[in-house]
Amino acid sequence: MERAAMRRPLLLILAAAATVVVVRAEPQVPCYFVFGDSLVDNGNNNDIASLARANYPPYGIDFPGGATGRFSNGLTTVDAISRLLGFDDYIPAYAGASNDQLLTGVNFASAAAGIRDETDQQLGQRISFGGQLQNYQAAVQQLVGILGDEDSAASHLSRCIFTVGMGSNDYLNNYFMPAVYSTSQQYTPEQYADALVGQYAQQLRTLYSFGARKVALMGVGQVGCSPDGATCAAEINGAIDIFNRRLVALVDQFNALPGAHFTYINAYGIFEDILRAPGSHGLTVTNRGCCGVGRNNGQVTCLPFQTPCANRNEYLFWDAFHPTEAANILVGRRAYSAALPSDVHPVDLRTLAQL
C-alpha cells in the first residue's frame, strides 16, 4: 500500500517531465504582402482566361499542395522568404483568401503582369501591377472593417513587409517583342527605363499612401540568360541593368518620405554570383530547363503531365523562364540575409523586419 502511494508522485513527476510544451515563436512581422509576376504568383491566374497559368503537373511536383499555380517544381522565392520571416503557413493567393488571412498578408502577384498595362496582352487576362494595387486597396478597406478604424489599419500595415517584383515582363514580353509592341521603336533603353520607373514610382506612391512602409523592391534578374541560349543576351541584360540602377535611386527617394523604409534586393547580382560558381551553391545544370520544350527545354513552359528531370535540386532553371525551388531558396535566403554587401541596398529583409 505504502509502496503504491509512493509510486503515484513518482509517476506524476515522470509524466510532467515527458510533457513537452512547444512554444512557437511569433513571426518577425505581423503580415507579409506580395506583388509581382509569374516568379511569385501562387494561384491568382488559375481561374482567369489566361495562357499564363501553372495549375497543372508537373508544376508543383515537389510542393506539398501539388500544382497550386506556382511556376516552379516547389517553393517560390516569397515562399522561402515567408518561412524565414517565421510564418507557419505560406502567404495565400489573394484570389482565394479569407478575411482572417488578410490580417497576416496575401499574395497579389499575377503571371504575365507588368508595370505597363499592355504588357503580355498576347497571353490573355492577367492582373497588371495597377490591377494588383486596386486589389490591395480593396483589401485595405476590408482590413479597416476588421480592425475597426483607419488608424488601427494604418498601424497594423506599417509593421508589415511588402515585396514588389515587377519589370521582367515589361522587357521580355514588351520591349524585346517588337513584332507585337512598338516600345523599342519609341524608346532607347535609357528612355524606356525612365518611362517604366516613372510609372512604377507613381504606383509605389499609391502603395505608400495605403499604408505600406516596409517595402522591398526586387530588382529584375538576368532574364537575358535563359536555357535556350549558350550565352546570355547582352542587349537584354544591358537594358535591365539600366532599369535596376534607377530602382536603387528610387529607393533612396522613397526613404525621404515620413516613416518609409524601402530597400532594393539585387536579384540580378545574386543570380550573377550563383552563375559564377554554381557548384558551390549545389547546382550542376545551368544551361537547360528541367522541363519544357525546344532547345535545352528553353523555349516554352512545361507541357501538361510532361516528365521533368529527376535531379531537380541540381538545376537552376525549372522551365524556360522560371527557377527551380533550389534556386528560389538561394535567392530568398540572400534577400533575407545578405551574403554580400551588393545583395541589398540599404538593408536585407531580416533588418527591414526589425525597423
pLDDT at 210 over 60: yes
The residue segments making up the domain with residue 157 are 32-353
Which residue among 322, 343, 345, 348 is the active-site one? 322
Sheet hosting strand 214-218, strand order edge to edge: 32-35, 161-164, 214-218, 261-265, 344-345
Find the CATH number of the domain harbouring 81. 3.40.50.1110
Residue among 322, 151, 351 nearest 263 (CA): 351
Higher-scoring residue by pLDDT: 272, 4: 272
Q: For 127-146, what is the mean pLDDT? A: 97
pLDDT at 10: 43
Which residue among 79, 241, 319, 343 is the active-site one? 319
Q: Could you tell me the pLDDT band of residue 295, with boundaries at 50, 70 and 90?
A: low
pLDDT at 5 over 80: no
Q: Is 319 a catalytic residue?
A: yes
- The chain-wide mean pLDDT, for the chain, equals 91
User: What's the predicted TM-score (pTM) here?
Assistant: 0.91
- Whether residue 13 lies inside any domain: the answer is no
- Whether residue 12 lies inside any domain: the answer is no
Residue among 334, 170, 158, 339 nearest 258 (CA): 158
Q: Give percent of the chain with pLDDT exceeding 90.
A: 83
> Cis link prior to 346 (omega < 30° from 0)?
yes
Cα separation of 69 and 52, whole Å? 10
CA 93 to chain centre: 12
Among 30-34, 48-52, 65-69, 222-226, which stretch is predicted with the lowest mean pLDDT? Answer: 222-226
**In angstroms, what is the C-alpha Rg of the chain?**
22
- Whether residue 21 lies inside any domain: the answer is no
- Whether residue 312 lies inside any domain: the answer is yes
- Total structural domains in the chain? 1
Cα separation of 45 and 240, whole Å? 26
- Whether residue 185 lies inside any domain: the answer is yes
Q: Could you tell me the pLDDT band of residue 225, with boundaries at 50, 70 and 90?
A: confident
pLDDT at 224: 83
All three cell numbers of 55, joined, read: 495549375
What lies within 8 Å, CB to CB, of 67 at 6+ separation is: 54, 55, 56, 57, 58, 59, 60
- Whether residue 285 lies inside any domain: the answer is yes
pLDDT at 2: 44
- Whether residue 16 lies inside any domain: the answer is no
Which residue among 37, 38, 72, 82 is the active-site one? 38
- Whether residue 125 lies inside any domain: the answer is yes
